[in-house]
Structure 1
Amino acid sequence: MKTALESLRSADARYTEKLIKLMKSFGMTIAEHRLLLLIESSLDTQEKISKATKLDTSTLSRQLKSAVKKELLDKIATGRDKRQLIYSVTEKGQADVKQIAAELARIDAAVFTDWNQNDRALLEQLLDKLEKSI
């Protein structure tokens, strides 16, 4: 019999598979999608993003470069030496984020279609308790 944590890990793996497939349909990775969301929320420099995500600068730099190449992000050089970059989400990136949000809402609705509000509230309480326990 599986432990509760094993069941949680299994559910996470299945959800991650769905996320990877969804992101691939938009030509991006989960990490790039997270970057778009962070930049939309005003974390517009590598330094701000690095602090928020605890990602090392080389990893983050590769992710940002890839998102710029895919035309999901724009960058503008600022400062005296033009080395400081300010990132913004492109129109394409914004459209993709909206479509992904709609698809994630659809997935959420499908997963919880047979759950009532009390079941969902209980799950949220239990997950919150688990997170605090770990």
Structure 2
Amino acid sequence: MKTALESLRNADALYTEKLVKLMKSFGLTIAEHRLLLLIESGLDTQEKISQATSLDTSTLSRQLKSAVNKDLLDKIATGRDKRQLIYSVTERGLDDVKKIAAELARLDAAAFENWNQNDRSLLEQLLEKLENSF
């Protein structure tokens, strides 16, 4: 018999598989999508993003460079020595974020189409309780 945590891990693996497939259809990685969302929310420097995500600067730098090369992000050098970079989401990046959000909403609706509101609320409460247990 599976434990509750094993079932949760299996559900996460299935969700991650669908998420990876969705991101690939847009030519993105999950990490790049997350960067777009963070930068769109106002975290516009590598320092701010690093603090929010706890990613080391070398990993983050590679992810940012990849997103810039894919025309998902723009960067502007600022400061006296032009070493500070300010990132912004490009029109293409914004368009992808909107389209991905719509697809994620469809995935959510499909996953829970046979659940009533009480079941969904209970799941949210139990997951929150589980998070707090750790």
TM-score scaled to structure 2, two decimals? 1.00
* Displacement of 1:6: 0.2
How big is the alpha-carbon RMSD for the aligned residues of Structure 1 and Structure 2?
0.3
2:75 pairs with 1:75 = yes
Q: Which residue of 2 aligns with 1:29?
A: 29
Runs of 4+ more than 3 Å apart? none
Identity of aligned residues (%): 84
* Displacement of 1:115: 0.3
Kindly provide the amino acid, as one letter, of the partner of residue 133 in structure 1.
S
2:125 pairs with 1:130 = no
Gaps of 5+ in 2: none
2-structure distance, mates of 1:77, 1:18: 37
2-structure distance, mates of 1:51, 1:30: 19
SS for the counterpart of 1:28 is coil
Correspondence 1:11-22 to 2 at 5 A: 11-22=11-22
* Displacement of 1:41: 0.4
Kindly provide the amino acid, as one letter, of the partner of residue 101 in structure 2.
A
Correspondence 1:17-96 to 2 at 5 A: 17-96=17-96
SS for the counterpart of 1:64 is helix
TM-score scaled to structure 1, two decimals? 1.00
Deviations 1:73-132 (A, max 9, x none): 000000000000000000000000000000000000000000000000000000000000
1-structure distance, mates of 2:26, 2:75: 21
Gaps of 5+ in 1: none
Kindly provide the amino acid, as one letter, of the partner of residue 7 in structure 2.
S
